[in-house]
Structure 1
Amino acid sequence: MANITFKSNPVTLLGQEVKVGDSAPNFTVLANDLSPVTLDDSKGSVRLVSVVPSIDTGVCDAQTRRFNEETAGLGNTKVLTVSMDLPFAQKRWCGANGIENVQTVSDHRDASFGEAYGVLIQELRLLARAVFVIDSNDKVTYVEYVSEATNHPDYEAAISAVKAAQ
């Protein structure tokens, strides 16, 4: 498993670590209207999955905004931002910030995504910061588990991976 810290303190990640070349694990998270969202819902598209601890914090806010802007012109791409935030908080945040190219989804109910992708922080019941790119055939083509959860991911590498998967 990836070695992750949260504010410089080591944390334990639950679930399976995902690697490039793996078949993308399925998951069930909740949309802002509480409807279920699964990997299969975006089948046939390239998926950029941006994982954040909480949408209402500075780095998570910046990460979601950056992927919203950078993917605006990328056809056949679906961007999901996954966190443990309640769907209502995610909806409020998106509305207040004009986010249109990213779908925020909540893993708060079952931690299905967190366990399937190995990003569930046992000590905090938050998700570790990570980025996954999944091609239209459900193969993982890019993985970044950010070693310090309060740091930014490598945006350029993630966007390059999306473009390469198109």
Structure 2
Amino acid sequence: MERNNSKVKFAGNQVTLIGKEPKIGDSAPEFTVLGNDLKPVKLTDFDGKIKVIAIYPSIDTSVCAAQNRRFNQEADKLDNVVVLSISCDLPFAQKRFCAAEGLNNIVTLSDHKDVDFGTKYGFLMEEFRLLARGTVIIGKDNKVKYVEYVPEVTEEPDYDKALEVVKELI
């Protein structure tokens, strides 16, 4: 398994990312995560749509909460786009957060069981068994169109750049 310890910091400290970084133009690797109902969810379940994958460490932090709120707000304005919000949080925590916040435009998914997404997309932080923060955009053709690993996990992603890519794909 590939390891990268030069791309991301967490609270100022370098972390090791496990997995292969997807490249723009690559076919998006299939992955399986858990939905809020504890049933498996695959990337191919969203074929035919533009997929914005919003990746974050834990819903119980202010930056992760802000990221989910922002992508939920933006998702409401986009046609034929699905926002998949992925972390290693338990599905119960994700569901609780979305219910409390009234977030119903994103699909929260949990990578806690097998970290299949994290390792296939190179977002798994070895030191914490949590996902690093970032955004991956996959076109209707299931090709990777955009990849952002936020250099400092405690900061928010570049929403404007991600949304610019999405709008070009619509």
TM-score bin, normalised by smaller chain: over 0.9
Q: Aligned partners of 1:10, 1:114: CA distance in 2, in Å?
A: 17
Q: Aligned partners of 1:136, 1:84: CA distance in 2, in Å?
A: 26
| Aligned residue in 1 for 2:113 | 109
Letter in 2 for 1:78: V
Residue 163 of structure 1, CA deviation: 1.0
Residue 112 of structure 1, CA deviation: 0.2
Letter in 1 for 2:93: A
Of 151, 157, 161 in structure 2, the residue corresponding to residue 157 of structure 1 is: 161
Where does structure 1 lack aligned partners over 5 or more consecutive residues? none
Q: Aligned partners of 1:98, 1:160: CA distance in 2, in Å?
A: 25
Calculate the TM-score normalised by the size of structure 1. Answer: 0.98
Calculate the TM-score normalised by the size of structure 2. Answer: 0.96
Of 38, 41, 58 in structure 1, the residue corresponding to residue 42 of structure 2 is: 38
Identity of aligned residues (%): 53
Please give the per-residue CA displacement for 1:59-111, whole angstroms capped at 9, x wherever unaligned: 10000100110121211001010000000111101100000110110000000
Counterparts in 2 of 1:68-87, with a 5 A limit?
68-87=72-91
Aligned length in residues: 166
Counterparts in 2 of 1:8-157, with a 5 A limit?
8-157=12-161
Residue 56 of structure 1, CA deviation: 1.3
Please give the per-residue CA displacement for 1:31-73, whole angstroms capped at 9, x wherever unaligned: 0110111110000000000000001111100001001101212
Where does structure 2 lack aligned partners over 5 or more consecutive residues? none
